[in-house]
Structure 1
Amino acid sequence: MTHDATVDQLQRYLQEQLVEAEDIPNVEQRKQRIIKLESALFEIIEFIKSVEERELVESVIFEESSSVRLISSSDNTDEPSITNSEVCPECDEPQSSEFSFCQVCGYQRK
């Protein structure tokens, strides 16, 4: 099975599910399923429009924003200290050595 599903394939799948939802015998379940599927289809259409508009103006489609460093007061002693920790180079938060990523910003250690 391939994992190269596209937005177009997802849209077609949801449209197929919408047609099948019409056959749900329970009226309440049918209504709920149709609302969920229509909402998902609406979001896909908005996403496609957004990408197309950005491509027209040659804008960056997705841009990763830098993390914000939280400044904490030094008199806050309620937080437990983390043993075997380092400081994340992205957000300067304490980082446990048992994980290969920062639990605050998701930075992947090398």
Structure 2
Amino acid sequence: MFPNSLTNIFPFALSFAPLTSLWGDSPPPIIQLDQATVYGLTNGSVTSYLNIPFAQPPVGDLRLRLPQPIEHYNGTIDATKVGPQCIQQMLPLREDMPAELFR
């Protein structure tokens, strides 16, 4: 009985699939710079632009030096995801620390 009811419900559910594109996620917020396009994300009433580089990567001669500004942005910047975390040593948590500090 159960598999038969699934075969009856499945076509009905598929008939609503095209409507989800009308009611689904809205297009991402876009900012057009001089020579670049930045795609952000919206969560409720908050619009965010994540992982936008503010300086050149600290590699080669730039390692262990002051940050050097980016001269210009080109192309497309995907600002919808958080960038990589800084490398850190994992420290053990003390038992007397309140758990609320880490939420």
- Output the TM-score relative to the length of structure 2: 0.22
Q: Which has the higher helix share?
A: 1
TM-score by length of 1: 0.21
Q: RCO (CA 8 Å, sep 6+): is it higher in 1 or 2?
A: 2
Higher strand residue share: 2
